């Protein structure tokens, strides 16, 4: 389904507000983007998912140059790398959700797929989740770390930082992000109970 710009923006705003209202983001700690007509529309630097409006998205060209009046999120290169990975990616969401961050501290068997498949739904919605080593948020070292591992997984968990999830649309990315966080919660609770 080809969505109009207004439909993509509507879904992005609904998603931002939903995530904030349910405690999946706080302050200005998250960012999201969608692709439209050759540009990435990404949440502006310092914007808050809870109060996000139409004016809080700023366009960035695929060569990385900003096209809007507002400064894009400092982590826009994470988004750019994912859009470059596949023409099927139409949106990206990055949060600092609690259980995903907690799980990023637990040693994993394989960094190409770091969240156990205790339920089938994460694999069905997203696929594999690669663990990206810790680097300072917004740094070139972080962008390079993602770039080196981007082809190995479908979604990503930045160590000590949070998930980065692509999708065909904002809603697709949102559903995958929700499943990733729920899977991380289940894995964390089983790990704490000594059952996994």
Which residues sit opposite 40 in a β-bridge?
A: 35, 60
Q: Is 75 a catalytic residue?
A: yes
CA atoms within 13 A on the CB side of 51: 7
* Nearest by Cα to 77 from 87, 62, 67: 62
Active-site hit among 54, 55, 61, 75: 75
* Nearest by Cα to 28 from 82, 90, 91, 94: 94
Active-site hit among 7, 111, 121, 134: 121
Q: Which residues contact 191 (CB under 8 A, 6 or more apart)?
A: 106
Report residue 80 as tokens.
């750019």
Q: Is 189 a catalytic residue?
A: no
As annotated, the active-site residues are 75, 121
């Amino acid at each position: 389904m080809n969505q109009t710009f207004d439909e993509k923006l509507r879904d992005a705003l609904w998603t931002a507000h939903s995530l904030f209202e349910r405690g999946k983001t706080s302050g200005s700690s998250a960012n999201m983007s969608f692709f439209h007509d050759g540009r990435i529309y990404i949440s502006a630097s310092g914007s808050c998912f809870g109060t996000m409006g139409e004016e809080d998205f700023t366009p960035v060209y695929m060569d990385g140059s900003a096209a809007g009046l507002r400064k894009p999120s400092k982590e826009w290169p994470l988004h750019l790398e994912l859009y470059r990975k596949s023409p099927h990616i139409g949106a990206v969401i990055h949060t600092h959700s609690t259980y995903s961050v907690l799980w990023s501290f637990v040693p994993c068997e394989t960094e190409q797929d770091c969240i156990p498949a205790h339920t089938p739904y994460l694999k069905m919605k997203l696929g594999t989740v690669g663990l990206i080593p810790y680097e300072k948020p917004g740094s070139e070292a972080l962008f390079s770390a993602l770039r080196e591992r981007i082809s190995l997984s479908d979604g990503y968990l930045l160590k000590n930082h949070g998930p980065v999830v692509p999708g065909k649309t904002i809603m697709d990315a949102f559903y995958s992000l929700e499943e990733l966080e729920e899977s991380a919660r289940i894995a964390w609770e089983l790990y704490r109970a000594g059952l996994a």
